[in-house]
């Protein structure tokens, strides 16, 4: 079975993005093993001279490397991603760069009607930076608006049409993961794996 890593894009204890990932984990349990990773206790990125990742960041990097694909669920803070998510991506880009060529699906939940659309677009742009270089699933968005009202008391999405939309996107993502990993492994002679550094430019 496919192994995926779900990253909760916030350090809030009360998060509808965490609920969304927990729902995805439960709803697709017969299609993928999904481990949920919390970034809430990671230190703020501080660009250490030795480029060494703190152990919690290294743990995340190792899990990303092992996973077939990654799902990131982001809130929207001031039209962008929360600082903790940006900081986490800065750590990863500055240390072992585990997201290079990794298939990624972006989801998000927000309290307003746009369902984190602006932060998702921003996250897509960030993940495309040369030191991150994730393989982001194209032409797909799962926007969960009015997220405070979206779940029942068992943590299930209430709106059946939203569940069906998620099923279509998740199904696409499983194919995207398989195809992308085949493409990448066919292309991965060592000369093709080029890690980028701004300092070498
Ligand atoms: C500092 C801050 C800024 C926010 N800015 C936006 C925003 O620009 N757009 C929006 O739709 N919601 C905004 N919100 C409300 C968020 O939709 C909501 O807090 C968050 O996305 C829900 O995610 P969570 O339940 O996982 O914490 C903001 C919330 C905070 C705390």
112 lines ligand 1 (CB under 6 A): yes
**How far apart, in whole angstroms, are the C-alpha atoms of residue 157 and residue 4?**
21
Contact 52, 91 (CB under 8 A): no
Task: Indicate which atom in ligand 1 lies nearest the CA of residue 75.
Answer: 21
Cα 85 to ligand 1 centre (Å)? 13
Percentage of residues of the chain with pLDDT beyond 70:
96
Answer yes or no: are the C-beta atoms of 15 and 8 closer than 8 Å.
Answer: yes
51 lines ligand 1 (CB under 6 A): no
Task: Check residue 189 and give its pLDDT.
Answer: 62
pLDDT average, residue stretch 177-192 = 83
Residue nearest to atom 11 of ligand 1 (CA): 112
**Burial of 165: CB neighbours in 10 Å, binned 0-12, 13-18, 19+:** middle
Q: Measure 179 CA to ligand 1 centroid, in angstroms.
A: 34
Nearest alpha carbon, ligand 1 atom 1: 77
Q: Which atom of ligand 1 is nearest to the CA of 17?
A: 26
Q: What's the 24 CA to ligand 1 centre distance in angstroms?
A: 21
Pocket lining: 111 vs ligand 1, CB cutoff 6 Å: yes
Q: What is the pLDDT of residues 30-85, one digit of tens each?
A: 999 999 999 999 999 999 999 999 999 999 999 999 999 999 999 999 999 999 99
Phi-psi region of 3 (alpha: psi -120 to 50; beta: other; left: phi over 0): beta
- Per-residue pLDDT band for 193 (boundaries 50, 70, 90) equals low
What is the arithmetic mean of pLDDT over 107-122? Answer: 95
* pLDDT tens digits along 27-45: 999 999 999 999 999 999 9
Say how many Å lie between the CA of residue 153 and the centre of ligand 1. Answer: 22
Question: 134-171 pLDDT, tens per residue?
Answer: 999 998 899 999 999 999 999 999 999 999 999 999 99
pLDDT exceeds cutoff 70 at 191: no
For residue 186, the model assigns a pLDDT of 87
Instruction: Say if ligand 1 is within 6 A of residue 117 CB.
Output: no
Share of the chain above pLDDT 90, in %: 90
If phi over 0 gives left and psi between -120 and 50 gives alpha, with beta otherwise, what is residue 190? Answer: alpha
CA of 199 to the centre of ligand 1 (A): 34
The pLDDT of residue 86 is above 80? yes
- Low-confidence winner among 24-28, 30-34, 115-119, 183-187 (lowest mean pLDDT): 183-187
């Amino acid at each position: 079975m496919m192994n995926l890593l779900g990253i909760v894009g916030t350090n809030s204890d009360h998060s509808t993005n965490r609920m969304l990932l927990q729902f995805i984990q439960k709803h697709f349990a017969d299609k993928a093993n999904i481990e949920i990773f919390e970034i809430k206790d990671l230190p703020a990125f501080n660009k250490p001279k030795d480029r060494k990742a703190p152990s919690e960041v290294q743990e995340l990097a190792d899990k990303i490397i092992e996973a077939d694909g990654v799902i990131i669920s982001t809130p929207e803070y001031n039209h962008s991603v929360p600082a903790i998510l940006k900081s986490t991506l800065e750590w990863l880009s500055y240390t072992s760069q585990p997201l290079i060529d990794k298939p990624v699906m972006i989801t998000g939940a927000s309290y307003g009607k746009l369902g984190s659309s602006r932060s998702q677009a921003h996250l897509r742009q960030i993940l495309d930076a040369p030191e991150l270089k994730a393989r982001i699933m194209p032409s797909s968005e799962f926007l969960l608006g009015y997220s405070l009202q979206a779940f029942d008391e068992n943590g299930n999405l209430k709106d059946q049409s939203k569940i069906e939309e998620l099923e279509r996107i998740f199904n696409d993502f499983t194919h995207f993961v398989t195809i992308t990993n085949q493409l990448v492994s066919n292309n991965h002679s060592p000369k093709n794996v080029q890690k980028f550094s701004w300092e070498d430019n």
